[in-house]
């Protein structure tokens, strides 16, 4: 089935669902006009040439290289410290998936390492004459570290602007709070998205969680959720004893523990995710790992009129907020709302010096437009709001201090529009 036919099928599904979004949530606000979606075609006649290359961290000193080819080929990565010294080689696995009448290309996953920290490596995918050489840089093993943070990225002209600005930031790792491709059942858009982000995602680790646009269930026709997401964006969930690609954790730079949670899988007390999170938080030694950062998709705190009262926000907050508070989590980043908002440290809807800072960063560039309407009057716990496209930078300098900055990209240049110095809760005697 071609893209045009899939688009028509999607339109029929939307008409069937009526006033509901694809995930069954009633729209309670009017979005600005949609923006043009970019489609990036395959630029090589050789179906064996690698494309949609992206990397992710596995453990302390390894990287997963993921890519797609049109035909079957070796899941092999050769790598080394220079283009002329590619002396190491690793092999991995190859898979594919079906979605209605769509059949994916061959999805290759190879883990390479051990790798030295803060080091550039060159890696070659495929066999001649179809092989291509790329380069990556590993994160540092000690602080400082710089994270780029974004959500609801999509693939529009705004997305291109966001990616250009992120690339200039010289980041070490990207954290994405769900809603990647906005494929919405049109699987060729997953391919397009992989090509769009490859220039960045092939050079620095991209660590992602899922959003509602990754669900892609069609009643009767395709009942399995997250098929494309799980197949294309495999994260290191096994390494953190998780049983699902939808939630996992990892350590980076010897001082930051990052937790990716799933807003659209079970999270109630007693669920697998709840029990995993409870155990994961207990394992963190804050004397060695002073910072804990959490990413979700549906925000627990939100003064925008968009996405109010959704169970993925309200019920997940009721189930998990206490765990995060008791563990003294420092940041909670969310997407879903297509705007930027930063809250003070908060717990149970009140300012609390021992609670995490909640930040909504769902303004990466999606095709649905910005959510421009906010609750009036603004809650006291909301520090900064702006409905503009942009991205965030979290610079963790040492065991006690970090700088958060949000950069608007409505113009040709990224403009720092909000920033705040923050100290880890482990450095506050009142929170120990």
pLDDT band at 415 (very low <50, low <70, confident <90, very high): low
Q: What is the pTM of this model?
A: 0.92
- Give domain 139-427's CATH superfamily: Metallo-dependent phosphatases (3.60.21.10)
Least confident of 37-51, 71-85, 307-321, 384-398: 37-51
Task: State how far the Cα of 27 lies from the Cα of 89, in Å rounded to an integer.
Answer: 50
Chain segment 92-146, per-residue pLDDT in tens? 999 999 999 999 999 999 999 999 999 999 999 988 888 999 999 999 999 999 9
- Give domain 45-138's CATH superfamily: Purple acid phosphatase-like, N-terminal (2.60.40.380)
Helix (H) or strand (E) holding 291: strand 291-295
* Domain parsing of the chain, residue ranges: 45-138, 139-427
Evaluate if residue 7 carries a pLDDT over 70: no
The pLDDT score that the predictor gives to residue 45 is 73
The pLDDT score that the predictor gives to residue 432 is 86
The pLDDT score that the predictor gives to residue 8 is 42
Q: Where are the alpha helices (DSSP H) in 269-350?
A: 272-283, 311-326
Contact 232, 66 (CB under 8 A): yes
Evaluate if residue 424 carries a pLDDT over 50: yes
Q: State the catalytic residue, choosing from 213, 257, 307, 338.
A: 307
Enumerate helices (H) and strands (E) in the chain, giving the number of each.
6, 24
Contact 149, 391 (CB under 8 A): yes
Evaluate if residue 152 carries a pLDDT over 80: yes
Residue predicted with more confidence, 17 or 115: 115
Active site residue 98: no
Chain segment 47-61, per-residue pLDDT in tens? 889 999 999 999 999
The pLDDT score that the predictor gives to residue 323 is 98
Evaluate if residue 14 carries a pLDDT over 50: no
The pLDDT score that the predictor gives to residue 44 is 74
Least confident of 34-48, 119-133, 376-390: 34-48
Task: State how far the Cα of 395 lies from the Cα of 182, in Å rounded to an integer.
Answer: 28
């Amino acid at each position: 089935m071609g893209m045009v036919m899939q688009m028509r099928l999607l339109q029929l599904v939307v008409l069937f669902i009526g006033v509901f979004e694809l995930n069954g949530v009633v729209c309670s606000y009017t979005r600005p006009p949609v923006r043009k979606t970019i489609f990036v075609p395959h630029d090589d006649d050789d179906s064996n040439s690698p494309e949609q290359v992206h990397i992710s961290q596995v453990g302390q000193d390894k990287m997963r290289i993921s890519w797609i080819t049109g035909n079957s080929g070796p899941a092999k990565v050769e790598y080394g410290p220079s283009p002329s010294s590619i002396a190491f080689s690793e092999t991995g696995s190859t898979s594919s998936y079906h979605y209605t009448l769509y059949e994916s290309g061959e999805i290759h996953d190879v883990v390479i390492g051990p790798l030295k920290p803060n080091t550039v490596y060159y890696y070659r995918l495929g066999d001649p004459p179809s092989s291509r050489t790329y380069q990556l840089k590993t994160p540092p093993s000690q602080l400082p570290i710089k994270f780029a943070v974004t959500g609801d990225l999509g693939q529009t002209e705004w997305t291109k602007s966001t990616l250009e600005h992120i690339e200039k930031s010289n980041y070490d790792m990207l954290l994405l709070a769900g809603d990647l491709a906005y494929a919405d059942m049109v699987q060729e858009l997953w391919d397009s998205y992989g090509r769009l982000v490859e220039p960045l995602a092939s050079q620095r680790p991209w660590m992602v969680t899922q959003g509602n646009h990754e669900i892609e269930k069609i009643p009767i026709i395709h009942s399995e959720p997250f098929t494309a997401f799980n197949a294309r964006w495999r994260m290191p969930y096994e390494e953190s004893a998780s049983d699902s690609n939808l939630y996992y954790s990892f350590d980076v730079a010897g001082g930051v523990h990052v937790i990716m949670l799933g807003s659209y899988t079970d999270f109630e007390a007693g669920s697998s995710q709840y029990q995993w999170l409870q155990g994961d938080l207990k394992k963190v030694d804050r004397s060695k790992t002073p910072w804990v950062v959490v990413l979700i998709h549906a925000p627990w705190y939100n003064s925008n009129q968009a996405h109010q009262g959704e169970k993925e926000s309200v019920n997940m907050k009721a189930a998990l907020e206490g765990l995060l508070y008791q563990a003294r989590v420092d940041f909670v980043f969310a997407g879903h709302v297509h705007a930027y908002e930063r809250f003070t440290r908060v717990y149970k809807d009140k300012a609390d010096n021992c609670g995490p800072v909640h930040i909504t960063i769902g303004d990466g560039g999606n095709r649905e437009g910005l959510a421009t309407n906010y609750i009036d009057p603004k809650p006291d716990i909301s520090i900064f709001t702006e409905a503009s496209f942009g991205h965030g930078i979290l610079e963790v300098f040492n065991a006690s201090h970090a700088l958060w900055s949000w950069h608007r990209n409505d113009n040709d240049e990224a403009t720092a529009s909000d920033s705040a110095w923050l100290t880890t809760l482990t450095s506050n005697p009142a929170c120990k």
